[in-house]
A and B are shown apart, each in its own frame.
Chain A
Amino acid sequence: MPEFDTDSQLVQDYKYGFYTDIETDTLPKGLNEEVIAMISAKKEEPTWMLEWRLKAFRRWQKMKDPKWAFLDFPEIDYQDIHYYSAPKQAVESAELDPELQKTFERLGIPLNERDALSGVAMDVVFDSVSVGTTHQEMLEEQGIIFCSISEAIQNHPELVRQYLGTVVPPGDNFYAALNSAVFTDGSFCYIPKGVKCPVELSTYFRINAADTGQFERTLIVCDDNATCSYLEGCTAPQRDTNQLHAAVVEIVALENADVKYSTVQNWYAGDEEGKGGIYNFVTKRGHCRGRNSKISWTQVEVGAAITWKYPSCVLEGDNSVGEFYSVAFTNNHMQADTGTKMIHVGKNTSSTIVSKGISAGKSANNYRGLVQVMDGAKHARNHSACDSLLIGRECSANTFPYIECEEDSAALAHEATTSNISEDQLFYLQSRGISEEDAASMVVKGFCKDVFKQLPLEFSVEAVKLLEIKLEGSIG
């Protein structure tokens, strides 16, 4: 085998690593009931919301952070983090700060309606607040609510109260409890009965301020016979210190509802020595509550120093369908422990898992998944395929598939492969006139094809380009 060397080009190529110098309203570091009350007050929340946060906080204080994942990082000092930071102007006036406008132009995210992608409505979250949502009026005509969660708490409290925390309860796990106590913004989508959302709904998350945690909370509710497709993207400045992103995403799918949730995660991943980068500790779960409902997760994870994330589906409605398609790329000292949980409760429920892990450099890339078939989930079906591709010799890949089945009529299939980018594949393509780097990129893209084809078309093109940039310098 030729030696592959991974160099720093990857880091230099992180073109989202800049910082916007902007006047902010930031709470002092530290976490206590007073800080939570201040966050709630800044958001002008009703009392029930503050109570909910405090209850979660008291739960969290009794919890310990999970150690079972295959991750190695120093203890996080939760008192050394700012829990709220917002650009001043975004909060005080309706006009968007020109600096912010410039920032998002640089990121390629159009904030005004005129430049917005015609097929995509976008909510943009900068540190702790949403700074704008496009296409609001057009969506409102159809009865679709798409706004920041802070707005939803004020304007649609009955819907938020009905669904918030019903898929991921505040005490679900350490990071979810923390998020429930201090979440600052995120998106809220409600698709009413019978409405097929005509555009992609999208949220762009940007971490800007230093030493600040981003605690995003997103809630998507698709009512009977409704459908929607949602996409999130994320970037952050390049810094030497680690920053925490602990998000919670909840999806509720009622009868015949169909929700597609796609993620392109490109948080700053740290430098080639493993210094800095985002800790991406995320709880994402969908609940197929109604009959014939469907929730499909697609994730392309190419950033973050550490990823701890298991987008899951609880398949309660009979005939409901859960899907998980994932590409996770790690390089340098990145660590990923990611996968899914498919919990089969209803009859004739089915789930599909397609996971593609690519590790380069000295990185560690783990798939961890659970397929659980409860007693009574007659004729549940699952198909899992978990493939790992190694680039070079210093990286690692592991697959931890857990299966718990209490139902004799279930049909479960699991396949897993681990392979190196083979020298024979590279030689074959090179002998056809294709350069070694293009050949390797071709092999990797082919490896990920089953996942990329699940993404909405224009994002699929973006994801392929993003992966190409990430691969540059990791092969050759």
Chain B
Amino acid sequence: MAHLEIKNLHARTGDIEILKGVNLEISQGEVHALMGPNGSGKSTLSSVIMGHPDYEVTEGDILLDGESLLEMDPEERAIAGLFLCFQYPVAIPGVSISNFLKKAVDARHPEGKAPSGPFLKEMRENMAYLDMDPKFANRGLNEGFSGGEKKRMEILQMMMFKPTMAIMDETDSGLDIDALQVVSKGVNKLRGPDLGLLVITHYERILTYIQPDHLHILMEGRVVMSGGPELVKQLEENGYDWVREQASLPA
């Protein structure tokens, strides 16, 4: 069973230390939510887990199934079972979605090449599930996409790559209610014993669609509070100042 363990993680970009000792554990089959005010380090955490070269880990470790990810390139982490749903997916002009997906699926295939027939069938089925026009497959990756289209594209990739551990970085930001429902539908389809999920968000809204088993609150580069689903409501009612008080952090 896949298990992600973040141990006393410190990371910085340039001279600025952003993560100051994050501890977090996620097992396959669990859904964790991570909330926190602006600037608390939420997006940094997802970038560091995936191995973005802008960040340097200065202390601590990230383990997937007991193996440290720190020396691994992003592509090795992906093949080990990790997936990051980007907050701002970049466009790769001229690279069609179908070509891109095939290349990425091939990279995971034990023989280095997945058979085309089943691949195309699965891609079409998943696209239909996410209410995506089949013609979309010929478009350039994220090229001229709306915010909602980009996020659907991220979920489509998650469905195709079947990660054991996925991180969703503010997937709900900038989505209207219809797009949020479609995205949540995709995520809930994947939810189950095979997937460990970390939903990073700014708003409680997405957590009514994707209900977490655990909630963690990140402040000033540390997880300062953890709890069950009931914490979502408490946070909604009392706000981050209440968290600060509880965690005895300066206001």
Contacts and interface: CB of A to CB of B under 8 A. Distances in A.
A422 B88 CA distance: 14
Interface string A295-306: 000000000000
Contacts of B104: 432-434
Contact of B140 (A2, A427, A431, A446): A446
A273 to B, nearest CB: 30
A436 B141 CA distance: 17
B75 A430 contact: yes
Interface residues of B, number: 29
A422 B108 CA distance: 24
Interface stretch (B33-41, B92-100, B211-219, B227-235): B92-100
Interface stretch (A237-245, A264-272, A437-445): A437-445
Contact of B79 (A422, A424, A433): A433
B79 A425 contact: no
B103 interface: yes
Interface of A: 2, 422-425, 427-436, 438, 442-443, 445-450
Which of A435, A446, A449: most chain B CB closer than 10 A?
A: A446
A447 B53 CA distance: 24
Looking at A424, A429, A432, A438, the one whose CB has the most chain B CB atoms below 10 A away is: A432
Interface in B62-101: 73-75, 77-79, 83-84, 86, 89-90, 92-95, 100
Contacts of A423: 53-54
Given A431-B74, A431-B83, 15 more contacts: A2-B53, A430-B73, A430-B78, A431-B78, A432-B75, A432-B157, A433-B107, A433-B161, A434-B107, A435-B75, A438-B103, A442-B100, A443-B92, A446-B140, A447-B93
A445 B107 contact: no
B168 interface: no
9 A-B pairs with the lowest CB-CB distances in the bound complex, closest first: A446-B94, A449-B94, A446-B95, A433-B78, A430-B74, A433-B107, A432-B104, A430-B75, A431-B74
21 contacts: A2-B53, A423-B54, A424-B90, A427-B52, A427-B53, A430-B74, A431-B51, A431-B75, A431-B84, A432-B104, A432-B157, A433-B79, A434-B107, A435-B75, A435-B107, A438-B103, A442-B95, A446-B94, A447-B93, A449-B95, A450-B94
A432 B78 contact: yes
A427 B100 contact: no
Contact of B92 (A430, A431, A433, A442): A442
B50 interface: yes
Contacts of A428: 86, 89-90, 92
Nearest to A453: B94
Nearest to B104: A432
A147 to B, nearest CB: 39
Q: Looking at B52, B75, B107, which has the most chain A CB atoms within 10 Å of its CB?
A: B75
B100 to A, nearest CB: 7
B137 to A, nearest CB: 15
A431 B141 CA distance: 15
A222 to B, nearest CB: 31
Given A430-B78, A431-B74, A443 B95 contact: yes
Contacts of A448: 94
Contacts of B78: 430-433
Contact of B50 (A431, A434, A435, A447): A431
A327 to B, nearest CB: 12
A442 B94 CA distance: 9
A434 B83 CA distance: 13
A436 B86 contact: no
Contact of A434 (B77, B93, B103, B140): B103
A392 to B, nearest CB: 16
A448 B74 CA distance: 26
B95 A427 contact: no
Nearest to A448: B94
A423 B74 CA distance: 12
Contacts of B54: 423
Contacts of B51: 430-431
Contacts of B79: 433
Nearest to B108: A433
A446 B79 CA distance: 24
A432 B107 CA distance: 9
A430 B77 CA distance: 9
Interface string B127-160: 0000000000000110000000000000001000
A448 B108 CA distance: 27
A283 B141 CA distance: 38
A450 B100 CA distance: 17
Contacts of B140: 446
B81 to A, nearest CB: 10
Nearest to A438: B103
A445 B95 contact: yes
Contacts of A443: 92, 95
Which of B54, B84, B94 has most chain A Cβ within 10 Å?
B94
Nearest to A443: B92
Contacts of B90: 422, 424-425, 428
Interface string B112-130: 0000000000000000000
